[in-house]
Amino acid sequence: MKSRQPPDTLLLLATFLLLGIGLVMVYSASSVVSLYRYNISYYFLRRQGIFAALGLAVMFICMRFNYWNWRRFLKPAFVLNFVFLIIVLIPGLGVERSEARRWIDLGFTHFQPSDFSKLALVLFTANYLVVNKDRIANFSRGLLPVLVVTGLTFGLIMLQPDLGTGVTILMTIYIMLFGGGARILHLLGLASAAIPAIVGLIFLAPYRLARLMSFLNPWADPRNTGFQIIQSLLAIGSGSLAGVGLGGSRQKFLYLPHPWTDFIYSIICEELGFIGGAAVIILFLILIWRGLRIAMAAPDLFGKYLALGLTAMIAVQVCINLGVALGTLPVTGIALPLISYGGTSLLLTLGSIGILLNISRYAM
């Protein structure tokens, strides 16, 4: 099969614009803490810039790598998914921060295995839906195997623990199963079972329950559990229509925790106002729209399911991150794709977009 057209221009443009906004805002949001900790204001920008350059290289390689060849890497990716998730749980190998063990120290950076799990499961599920397209409507012979693999991955991620990433994976695979032809009754049954289970996980962990309570009423404990949500809303509200100006954020002065990662959208709204915040959302909507269009126009089922899964993976993360920043979802540590600081996440996202761009070259 020969490519018949150039890659999707709008998807490429939206990616470049979001990445550029991300680099600028990582610098703006982190400059105060960077200067305080490392005596230079651009410490986080420099690291993010390195990963952005590497990520763009990965994106262009993936854009030229025929997407159906990814099926050759399914078994290694399947095995590595579980190997990484087990290694990160081993004391001495996994890096622990804030009572969570989610990273492997590679020396020059920290690798987050759960980010790799997202891509590995999307590849696995896309191939599984193609191979079992005639059986996916059957629960035991079609749906159950992919649920077992997803459930095992979710379970290992919960041991870290990382509910936000676990939910992201569940929602991504759920969307792929819907697009792959799973029966609606089966999907409704899964949702009916998953929601109480997730609620149960929240109540089993005191810190998750505290986050839920603070989400429902952050002002009940404004100096502790409700602090992040309140500071995020103060940042967004301070921005008004046009913002306080690029670099002029007050919340980044040690008020809003980690403003260059989970709450970077709050700083965008504070500095660039409603106009800047809306522009970011519009760019993400363009990216998601083009991803779904690529899925619908892909020439084969593997391309359709792969594009759907990659787009869903990005879309779910965007929705969760924005929901947390806007106070419509409980606080959870999900990065805003292409914008938040984080090397593993940025490489994964740009690589995924590269695969989407390659699929777009064969769109019918």
Tens digit of each residue's pLDDT (9 = 90 or more) over 15-29: 999 999 999 999 999
User: How much is the pLDDT for 90?
Assistant: 86
Query: Is-contact 307 298, C-beta < 8 A?
Result: yes
User: How much is the pLDDT for 195?
Assistant: 83
User: How much is the pLDDT for 210?
Assistant: 75
In this prediction the pTM is 0.93
Instruction: Indicate whether 115 pLDDT > 60.
Output: yes
User: How much is the pLDDT for 350?
Assistant: 97
d(CA 237, CA 30): 20
For a pLDDT cut of 70, what percent of the chain falls above it? 98
User: How much is the pLDDT for 208?
Assistant: 75
Tens digit of each residue's pLDDT (9 = 90 or more) over 214-225: 777 777 777 777
**Residue 322: left if φ>0, alpha if ψ -120 to 50, beta else—which one?**
alpha
> CA angle 172-320-310, nearest 5°?
30
User: How much is the pLDDT for 98?
Assistant: 66
d(CA 80, CA 126): 17
User: How much is the pLDDT for 331?
Assistant: 81
Mean pLDDT within 76-83? 91
Mean pLDDT within 263-283? 95
d(CA 362, CA 357): 9
d(CA 271, CA 236): 9
Cis peptide before 259 (omega within 30 of 0): no
DSSP state of 40: -
Mean pLDDT within 191-205? 80
How confident is the prediction for the chain on average, in pLDDT? 89
Read off the tokens for 16.
């470049």
User: How much is the pLDDT for 2?
Assistant: 57
Instruction: Indicate whether 243 pLDDT > 80.
Output: yes
